[in-house]
A and B are shown apart, each in its own frame.
Chain A
Amino acid sequence: GESVGLHLPTLSVQEGDNSIINCAYSNSASDYFIWYKQESGKGPQFIIDIRSNMDKRQGQRVTVLLNKTVKHLSLQIAATQPGDSAVYFCAEKESGGGADGLTFGKGTHLIIQP
């Protein structure tokens, strides 16, 4: 999801359900993408990454999908747990610039309902 103005979009799911968080990026030269989880008052925590030569990558309970044609990235979280409640950001960069900073997306606030 993308934010409108200053408000983060919110996704509310029931505990145990699957969630899908979306992200659109604009730089067609970006070829390295990362999903981060950020809890209130803390720094971003790495979840999973994917390079542009792949369209899917799986981790533990998480899957990232990349559609380069429409410049879209998604994060799927399976069997959500209360501890998954956080703000999720996608980030991108051109990996040719190995020591470059990241460009962050606008974030989605995931709320897990008991």
Chain B
Amino acid sequence: GAVVSQHPSWVICKSGTSVKIECRSLDFQATTMFWYRQFPKQSLMLMATSNEGSKATYEQGVEKDKFLINHASLTLSTLTVTSAHPEDSSFYICSAIGARYEQYFGPGTRLTVT
């Protein structure tokens, strides 16, 4: 149990385009999900907290208009990187909160902006 999936697992897009990444909790409901970003050989950095039915909460320094988060159901949160640029190339990882506040991580999405 407690499986979190992400789609796509990798994506290449051109500079200036937008990309949507999905995070799904497959066998449990998650009112709260998180989005992290990880650059090569670095740690995970929390970007935002995604709350079902309400606006996301962004960490300091993360542009909310650039990284759009939608958590329309208890099993799905989406992250849209708008007007992507090469510096947005990164590994994006989501996690979902279980019933006892434990975090289950997805497998990550590799974004490459050319």
- A contact residues vs B (CB 8 Å cutoff): 3, 6-8, 36, 41-46, 89, 95, 98-107
Given contacts A41-B110, A43-B105, A43-B107, are A102 and B46 in contact (CB under 8 A)?
A: yes
- Give per-residue flags for B24-61: 1 if the beta carbon is below 8 A from chain A beta carbons, else 0: 00000001101010000111111001000000000100
Q: Is the CB of A89 within 8 A of B43?
A: yes
Query: Which residue of the partner chain A has the closest CB to B6?
Result: A43
Q: Known: A43-B107, A107-B43. Contact between A98 and B101, CB under 8 A?
A: yes
Least Cβ–Cβ distance between A47 and chain B, in angstroms: 12
Contact of B46 with A43 in the complex, beta carbons under 8 Å: no
**What does the 1/0 interface line of B69-95 toward A look like (CB < 8 Å)?**
000000000000000000000010101
* B105 & A104 in contact (Cβ 8 Å cutoff): no
CA distance A69 to B15 in the complex (A): 48
Main secondary structure of the interface of B (DSSP, over half): strand
| Binding site secondary structure of chain A | loop
Nearest B-chain residue to A7, judged by Cβ: B41
In the complex, A42 Cα to B103 Cα: how many Å? 16
Chain A residues, Cβ within 8 Å of B91: 41
The docked-state distance in angstroms from the alpha carbon of A46 to that of B98 is 13
- How many A-B residue pairs have C-beta atoms within 8 angstroms? Tell me: 58
B106 engages A43 (CB within 8 Å): yes
- Can you name 14 A-B pairs with beta carbons within 8 Å? A3-B42, A36-B105, A41-B108, A43-B93, A46-B105, A89-B44, A98-B101, A99-B31, A101-B34, A101-B59, A104-B43, A104-B44, A106-B43, A107-B42
Contact of A105 among B32, B43, B93, B102 (CB under 8 A): B43
Q: By the criterion CB–CB under 8 Å, are A42 and B108 in contact? A: yes
**Residue numbers in B under 8 Å from A41 (CB-CB):** 91, 108, 110
Is B97 positioned at the interface, with any CB of A under 8 Å from its CB? yes
Residues of B within 8 A of A7 (CB): 41
> Within the assembled complex, what's the spacing in Å between the Cα atoms of A58 and B93?
28
Tell which of A44, A103, A106 touches B105, judged by Cβ atoms closer than 8 Å.
A44
